[in-house]
Amino acid sequence: MDKFHLLFQNVFSLLTPLAATIMTEKKEKYLNPKASVNQRVNDVLERMTVEEKIGQMMQVDHTAIQNNPSDITKYFIGSVLSGGDSEYLDNSTSNWANLHNLMQSYALQTRLKIPLIYGIDAVHGNNNIYGATLFPHNIGLGCTRNAKLVEKAARITAEEISATGIEWDFAPCIAVPRNIRWGRNYEGFGETQALAQILGAAQIKGLQGKSLKDPTNILACAKHFVGDGGTTNGIDRGNTEEIEAVIRKIHLPGYISAIHENVGSIMASFNSINGEKVTGSKYWLTDVLKNELGFDGFVVSDWGAVDLLGDDYKDDLEMAINAGIDMVMLPFRYLDYYNAMMSLVEEKKIPMSRIDDAVSRILRKKFELGLFEKPFADRALEKEVGSPEHRAIARQCVRESLVLLKKKNGSLPLKKNGARILVAGTHADNLGYQCGGWTLTWQGGSGNDITVGTTILEGMRKAAPEAQIDFSETGDFTDTKADYSVVVVGEKPYTEWYGDSNDLNLPDDAVELIKKVKNYNNPVIVVLISGRPLIIEKILHYSDAIIAAWLPGSEGDGVSDVLFGDYSPVGLLSNSWPKSMEQIPINIGDDNYAPLYEYGYGITSFKDSPTRTAPNFLSSILTGAGKKIELTFDKPMKDTSSAKTHFVITKNNEPIRTEIRTSLKPNDDTTIVLDLDEELSKQDEITVTFYFGNVESSDGAQLETFGPVDVVK
């Protein structure tokens, strides 16, 4: 038994008499559960020293004190958190409960026995626990448009957090991401305030329930107030340069809904608004949030955010507390905080009225949570973590979050019985990649041992045991003839500023893999794993169907549910999908709004286009050393070699004069090839327009006018 566990065992022996004291001692009104919350808050506040009040306002990471847990008692520490990389031993539910109870036991040794509140980032399930149910990240949940389902997912998250004893979740993130370059784009529900309002409220309802005293309800934390999704160039922790009317129209409504849902805490944002850091803004934190909007919970700063207000820590604290920060997420320098705060109070730079207001807000939530009566983890809840019932809801979240972006006739759903399916790609059999960031560690990871779950490949094999499903990550197969090829590619995990990017093109190796597999002459279905829309113009022409699967979490079965047609796709885009990097930022309502796929777009049926309906143009590409243009459609086309057509091709906005011959592409009757006499360059801007002609689909439908459309090079 290691030294830490021996310490835990010795301390835990104190828990029974301490708990008995809390339950039986009635002479102090604050210890009487029958008294009102306000009576209890006022009573304990009158008994507290300045040191005890200051302690309630500090939050430290567990790694800062796990070797000196008695400092919780010594400095009256009111809150502990475990940050994104604060993993604990084997990350089992039991060990996390042990850690929580140990920290709590030291808080209960203080003079007034005020329990601490423990916070954690559980942003897509209790993602810190090995074996927990992991849901799609919020961008995927936004595509479901299903508030009831989002609430169910949050309810499960609350239950699996409660099994560890932890009482506070730093969620939901109700940011409204307006630039997909932002590394936290996937933490928001989507680019509109409506999604933040409706789904943010649903998550709060699921986490907090009707009463915080329910043993499986936990405190929610709406974040990050305010404007974090609107920073210039999508830079994490950057500057949101908008007039106040825009902030109020786009970024504030989610918080109004959160307050209506009685959210217990709100986290101030790292970002600035027009040069002023929100963490130090009295206008936004007090005048607007607390006074105008009537928020009566407490405001916590983000990880070390107070340190960034200036060069002098004492001045930083003075600014933040007077601005309206009630609890400081330090997360390490608690001695510096303690000494600076004592000095600031003594010098009357922070009035006691502000201290009392902050402490009252924090204590009110501790009483509402019932922490004074039940401060320790309920071990009976451990069996619910990762249960089949919980995973079934996560699987439903996955399948409802998938957005079918493109589908040629006959490409989906996949057949199960007797089919041969080739599966390729780095993300097909990698649980870490499909879970994304905030999974066991801050930045997430790679591999199938990261947690318990089902990869997309595993889900496919379970869904179609009668099919022959061959897998090669690199797309190398002895026999390339198959009924379908499925390629699963995308982004690798990232979190926060590590994910900020000015290049959202699908990686070159993924593009080359899709081209390689297309040459096998099987229908190619591409599944994209990403935290945001990616630039996919280079693969449009080489795919027969494309599914945006986002970051689906632990239940890859949800992807196979849709691939094999057990469920129809229902997801609708929560972010506009740009054609190119030059279009970013792009959001619904913009002037000259012309994305590749609009906000709210999604194909919601597997049915082929009806017979004798006009073929739909899908994509074009320059090939043949610049003397061929390929045009692909959603259905097979008739031979065009003798058809009379009028196509117009422009180069750099000028029509070119060249003879155009048309034919069907060998081995792909959905593609028409335009043969040119003039050679075009990849540096040129090229468009194609079809004005008229007798071009028909194989079922006899006439091609209608389309264009001008850009030609991908």
Cα torsion 214, 216, 219, 222: sign: negative
Using alpha carbons, select from 473, 477, 466, 500 the residue that is nearest to residue 488: 473
Q: How are beta strands 484-490 and 420-424 bridged, if at all?
A: parallel
Please report the beta strands in 184-271, taking only residues with DSSP state E, as ranges in sequence order.
221-225, 239-240, 265-268
Q: Cα separation of 402 and 399, whole Å?
A: 6
Q: Is 592 left (phi over 0), alpha (psi -120 to 50) or beta?
A: left
At 420, which amino acid appears?
R
Please report the beta strands in 292-426, taking only residues with DSSP state E, as ranges in sequence order.
298-300, 328-329, 403-407, 420-424
Identify the DSSP state of 414.
Answer: P
Count helices and strands in the chain by DSSP H and E runs:
22, 25
Residues 395, 561 contacting (CB under 8 angstroms): yes
Cis peptide preceding 331, ω within 30 of 0: yes
336 counts as catalytic? no
Q: Residue 2 has which token pair?
A: 């290691």
The 10 Å Cβ neighbour count of residue 75 is 20
Q: How far is CA 694 from the centre of its chain?
A: 48
* Residue tagged active-site, from 159, 302, 368, 544: 302
Using alpha carbons, select from 175, 294, 261, 159 the residue that is nearest to residue 215: 159
Q: Which residues contact 477 (CB under 8 A, 6 or more apart)?
A: 422, 470, 520
Q: Which residues contact 432 (CB under 8 A, 6 or more apart)?
A: 439, 444, 445, 446, 447, 448, 450, 493
Q: Cα separation of 471 and 423, whole Å?
A: 5
Q: Cα separation of 126 and 140, whole Å?
A: 17
177-211 burial: b if 16+ Cβ within 10 Å, else e: bbbbbbbbbbbbbbbbbebbbbbbbbbbbbbbbee
* Residue tagged active-site, from 52, 307, 326, 496: 496
What would the DSSP string read from start to end of 424-481?
ESTTTT-HHHHH-SSBSBTT---SSSSSS-B-HHHHHHHH-TTSEEEEETT---S---
The 10 Å Cβ neighbour count of residue 323 is 25
Q: Cα separation of 82 and 92, whole Å?
A: 14
658-694 burial: b if 16+ Cβ within 10 Å, else e: eebebbbbeebbbbbbbebeeebeeeeebbbebeebe
Length of the chain: 713
As beta bridge partners, residue 222 has 266
Q: Cα separation of 455 and 457, whole Å?
A: 5
302 counts as catalytic? yes
Name the residues annotated as catalytic: 302, 496
